[in-house]
Structure 1
Amino acid sequence: MARPVVVGVDGSPAGLAAADWGAREALLRDLPLRLVHAGERQPYSHAPPAGPEAAHRWSQGVPQEVTGRLRQLHPHLDITADFVIGPPRDVLCRAAEGAEILVIGTTGVGRLTGFLVGSVSMATVAHAEAPVVLVRAGGPGEQPLPDAESGPPPPVVLGLDLTRPCDEVIDFAFEAAAVHAAPLAVVHGWNPPPYDAYGLGAALKFGTDLSAGERDSVHQALRPWRDRYPGVDVAAQAVIGEPAHHLLDAAAHAALVVIGRHRRTTLPALPRLGHITHAVLHHCPAPVAVVPHG
């Protein structure tokens, strides 16, 4: 049985953006779409009807309303919708256990301040076992399906960390590029050691050698997937500096940004994400896929 693309919907504009993105992804991957709405909700930009019974009926109607809208747009898409009682993080993480991808929405609050990524979204990203895609309301994720006449597709961007095994992350990025018929831009940010013990000439040569070594390490890490996905056009770079800054620059016109999240076996109740993941989630305008690995 095919694993569905699962979308968390809540009646907000961000939830609708996530549903639209998830529907297009399900079509591209030839997978069913499952919409899930949890009984306990985050605050919305608009209030539900007054009273607990009316609010409960409103919650139950959210997935059905979104389903009707998507069926009009994509009549051939296999869509199911569920209203599930429980804390949103727990509901979404359980739904992710049988999902190909989990999609949730986040709210845009301005270019300078970044995006509003709520506690439920962050906790879901930190705990879900499936890749989680965060989609911005009004962001570039709200685009039509690829069209041969619309020009070259925007790239999928992969943030590559060579300090730990990340096969799941690389595989997800290559598959996403293949599914979207898009080029893959691989960004590996790194920082050389200080050169206090070297003269200027030795430091420059040492830095050049290190740069060549980093580029070679990137190409070696990608080689198995280049062979597995020969149709994907790959451009890889190893750049000095803060990885998040380089990723955000590359993501300005990306279809999707792919980053990894290391699985932790201790302190499972605490959502722990690295500073690079935090920076990308809060400031990247494109949809971001966080892939658990390790």
Structure 2
Amino acid sequence: MALVHTVEQPIVLVRADEDAEADADMHHRDRDLVVGLDISRPCAALLAFAFAEASRRNCRLHAVHSWKLPPVAGYGSACDPRVYAQLDLGAKANLDDALRPWREKYPAVDTLGHSSDGHPVRHLRKASGAGLLIVGRRIRRPSVGTHIGPVTHAVIHHAQVPVAVIAHE
């Protein structure tokens, strides 16, 4: 964890397990990549790494974004399917907007955007078949402790696939 917090270059973590020899033969090169995005804080470094890696591997890139119902929605309107559908459409449109310049820069990369409600770790854990799961962490220089963010922290501990952590401002 200290290394992930300290290094400002991309770092890839690979879990050692009993299937390491079988996985080494595959090199995860033919599997899709998954990148977790927070579209409220778009990150060029994260998307640049994800698209470049998908291009290099010649594989599909899944961009995953999670959203939550706003606190003002309340219980009554949260159950209203029209409000939910409108929030869902807005989140998907925002994800498409964030991906558009990268899709134009890397037209050969088949990119799928996935936006749904819920906690991001829950959605990223579904990436169990990915060749690489890519997440970001903001560069913070606290005086005490390592602060990599709760989503990145959970992904590092629970992902069963290689994880790339991209530091960004």
Q: TM-score, normalised by structure 2?
A: 0.89
Alpha-carbon shift at residue 199 of structure 1 (Å): 4.9
Cα 1:197/1:137, change in 2 over 3 Å: closer
2:10 — aligned with what?
131
Runs of 4+ aligned residues of structure 1 deviating over 2 Å after TM superposition are: 138-147, 194-201
Structure 1 residues 124 and 210 mapped into 2: Cα distance closer, same or farther (>3 Å)?
Answer: same
Q: Is the 8 A contact 1:123 1:271 kept in 2?
A: yes
| Distance (Å, rounded) in 2 between the aligned partners of 1:265 and 1:127 | 9
Task: Name the CA distance, whole Å, in 2 between partners of 1:199 and 1:164.
Answer: 27
Whether contact under 8 Å (1:141, 1:287) holds in the other structure is no
Q: 1:259 aligns with which of 100, 113, 135?
A: 135
**1:138-178 Cα distance to aligned partner (Å, 9 max, x none):** 3575243578xxxxx21000001112231100110111111
Structure 1 unmatched ranges of 5 or more = 1-121, 148-152
Aligned 1:64-213 pairs, distance under 5 A = 122-138=1-17, 139=20, 142-144=24-26, 153-194=30-71, 195-196=73-74, 198-199=76-77, 203-213=80-90
Indicate if the aligned counterparts of 2:95 and 2:115 stay in contact, CA closer than 8 A. yes
Who is 1:293 aligned against?
168
Corresponding residue for residue 154 of structure 2: 279
Asked which structure has the greater RCO (Cα within 8 Å, sep 6+), the reply is 2
**1:145 and 1:200 mapped to 2: Cα distance?**
44
TM-score between both structures, scaled by the size of structure 1: 0.52
Identity of aligned residues (%): 37
In 2: Cα distance, 1:198 partner to 1:146 partner = 46
Residue 226 in structure 1 maps to residue 108 in structure 2: no
Supply the distance in 2 between the matched residues of 1:247 and 1:177 (Cα, whole angstroms).
17
What's the CA shift for 1:262? Answer: 0.4
Q: Is the 8 A contact 1:257 1:287 kept in 2?
A: yes
- Residue 264 of structure 1 and its aligned partner are, at CA, apart by 1.1
Computed over aligned residues only, the root mean square deviation of the Cα atoms, in angstroms, reads 2.1
Give the secondary structure class of the aligned counterpart of 2:146.
Answer: coil
Give the Cα–Cα distance (whole angstroms) in 2 for the partners of residues 207 and 146 of structure 1: 37
Structure 2 matches for 1:40-51, cutoff 5 A?
Answer: none
Q: CA deviation at 1:293?
A: 0.8
